[in-house]
Chains A and B, each alone.
Chain A
Amino acid sequence: MTSLSRDEINYILELVQKSDFDELKLEMGDLKLALSKTGGTAPAATPTPAGDVVTPATAAPTTPKAPISSDAGTAVPAPLLGTFYHAPKPGADPFVQVGDVITETSIIGIIEVMKLMNQVQSGVAGTVVEITAPNGELVEHGQTLIRVQP
């Protein structure tokens, strides 16, 4: 049975804090620990059945740079290259705006590839904190479209 004391966890947190790395994933036997500087993006650690380990979910957000800044939230990446549109047609209301509460299946915009319109689903539930990609401009595969605070 592997376990870590509170002090040991604190020590690891300090190491991560001082390093250039944003994330740490540690596996020792049946213990799994995931830490993230930005918080939220790394999957929460799975507590071992034994339950004698500190849940890192509380440990992870100890070092947020800016809790509710435009950097916050989970990035929704462009599923394909194309031209990103905020609204179904020019002049219409945008699919989503900052502050909107959306679900995983909410449509957040359209990506057009050679006149073929592809609806983009959020994939993340939460509150829209930023519309990152400008309307009517080319986005590459994987580029951040919007940010959602889960």
Chain B
Amino acid sequence: MTPIRKIFIANRGEIAVRIIKTARLMGIETVIGVSEADRDSLGARLADKAICLGPAPSAQSYLNVDLILHAALATGCDAIHPGYGFLSENRALAQGCLDYDLIFIGPTPDNLDAVGDKLTARTHAIASLVPIVPGDTIDTAEDAQAIADRIGFPLLIKAVAGGGGKGMRRVDHPHELSQSITLAMAEATASFGDGRVYVERLVEQGRHIEVQIISDGDTILHAHERECSLQRRYQKVVEEAPAPNLDPLLRDQIHAAALQFARHIGYVSLGTVEFLVDVKRGEFYFLEMNARVQVEHPVTEEITGLDLIQLQINIAQGIDLKLSQSDITVTGHAIECRINAEDSDNNFMPSPGRITTAWFPPMAGLRIDTHVQSNSMIVPNYDSMIAKMIVHRPTRDAAITTLARQLATCRLDGITTNIPLHQRIMTWDAFQSARFDTNSLQRFLDSAETRT
């Protein structure tokens, strides 16, 4: 494969800036496709060339495959980096790159198919002997009884056609099962026109733990795990690596399962296998695989010393990994806070606008991945993340201390941010003692609301 000389960046925000950083280190030119709203963004100013794809709405700019392919080809790029979100896991873009001799800096179209929808991914998990949440589809209340005998209570009944929490029903006791199934089926028929339901184990206390995969197709490695349980409405708020308070044996099993899944689907590139860890049972289940670089990749980079974007680019241009598993070791602890332009004291209302002053005072172990500077405009068209505050220190406690200091000292004037929320998290005992699950942050927010 020919070496990459010019990358087209089909993304915006901090990840565009992050890609430019590594491209510059590697001596690769960059062209960024931006929307009208991002003409003046930091990414547009840092790239060797910026070209306007279309108006601010993503559908007419960042999500238009043809515009991006055309712009990449016409500007003489030999590769496209899709970043995360937008078209990063879009099969049409990956296939379009293949068709027009562009290098897609990501996995193959077949890889995207394998993990693109949850049901297919689940089938691959079963085939690769990676554990999934125990459960099955049912036709009758008797079927449900048989499953309940096998997996125990509490249970969750889900509508097959449902999604986003709709059509879900919790069952705590055996005697409620039959009636709940009948009700759930009736509800599913009424809501979705499809009465099929699915019964699975309800994980009451779950942790979201994910494993970073790096694969050139032959050498498949993991770069350890990240703990991402602190979420609000399925959006991660704080991530860290390595996962604290995780049984070493369980940790090894999770790493092995992630490798097993990636190997089974012939995965190539950077990817992340997500698991739900059942705290009470000490078991873990496959959730999904993300076939892209993740927002929270910096915590992995900090503890391993790897440049994941560089590895991703090198894999894409056909350079074999020169690493072995024993080369990837963990040093210290890293935590990332996602700083969003939203009002955490007012129902997380987005607060776009102009940042008058942006200042992140230097501190040992601090890394700020951002696209904002003083006088930057936060446009309302896209997600509200404006910076990732990452701290890498020898211990978790030291990392929390530095983050708390940074949060208290930094300045992001002109807009409202969720910095006050992060400050509360840093002093929250459940966070400090690393005893939290995927429901903890919501409970913490609810209790804070009742207090005020």
* Residue positions of A touching B, CB distance < 8 A: 80-83, 112-114, 116, 138, 140-143
Contacts and interface: CB of A to CB of B under 8 A. Distances in A.
Interface string B57-77: 000010000110111001100
Contacts of A138: 51, 70-71, 74-75
A104 B9 CA distance: 36
A141 B74 contact: no
A113 B52 contact: no
B43 to A, nearest CB: 15
B54 interface: yes
B113 interface: no
A113 B70 contact: yes
User: Which 3 pairs show the lowest CB-CB distances between chains A and B?
Assistant: A138-B74, A114-B66, A140-B52
A141 B66 contact: no
A81 B51 contact: yes
Interface in B23-75: 33, 36, 51-55, 61, 66-67, 69-71, 74-75
Nearest to B50: A140
A141 B61 CA distance: 9
A127 B33 CA distance: 33
11 contacts: A81-B53, A81-B71, A83-B74, A112-B70, A113-B66, A114-B66, A114-B69, A138-B74, A140-B53, A141-B36, A141-B55
B66 A116 contact: yes
Given A80-B54, A81-B52, A142 B36 contact: yes
B67 A80 contact: yes
Contacts of B55: 141
A133 B69 CA distance: 21
A82 B72 CA distance: 11
B58 to A, nearest CB: 14
B67 A81 contact: yes
A83 to B, nearest CB: 6
Interface in B70-89: 70-71, 74-75
A34 B430 CA distance: 61
A62 to B, nearest CB: 32
A141 B53 contact: yes
A100 B51 CA distance: 30
B57 to A, nearest CB: 12
Contacts of A113: 66-67, 70
Contacts of B66: 113-114, 116
Contacts of A83: 70, 74
A140 B70 CA distance: 11
Interface residues of B, number: 15
Contacts of A82: 67, 70
A114 B75 CA distance: 14
A142 B75 CA distance: 17
Given A81-B52, A82-B67, A141-B36, 15 more contacts: A80-B67, A81-B53, A83-B70, A83-B74, A113-B66, A113-B70, A138-B51, A138-B75, A140-B51, A140-B53, A141-B52, A141-B55, A141-B61, A142-B52, A143-B52
A108 to B, nearest CB: 19
A142 B66 CA distance: 17
Nearest to B96: A114
A83 B71 CA distance: 9
A82 B64 CA distance: 12
A80 B71 CA distance: 11
Interface string B265-280: 0000000000000000
A80 B74 CA distance: 14
Nearest to A137: B74
Interface in B9-27: none
A143 B50 CA distance: 13
A8 to B, nearest CB: 33
B60 to A, nearest CB: 8
A80 B64 CA distance: 11
Contacts of A81: 33, 51-54, 67, 70-71
B33 to A, nearest CB: 8
B372 to A, nearest CB: 24
A48 to B, nearest CB: 34
Contacts of A140: 51-53, 71
A79 to B, nearest CB: 9
A83 B75 CA distance: 11
A25 B137 CA distance: 65
Contacts of A141: 36, 52-55, 61
Nearest to A142: B52
Contacts of B54: 80-81, 141
Contacts of B61: 141
Nearest to A112: B70
A141 B74 CA distance: 14
A81 B66 CA distance: 10
A114 B66 CA distance: 6
B62 to A, nearest CB: 12
A6 B75 CA distance: 53
A78 B242 CA distance: 50
A142 B37 CA distance: 12
A107 B203 CA distance: 62
A113 to B, nearest CB: 5
A143 B75 CA distance: 15
A133 to B, nearest CB: 13
Nearest to A116: B66
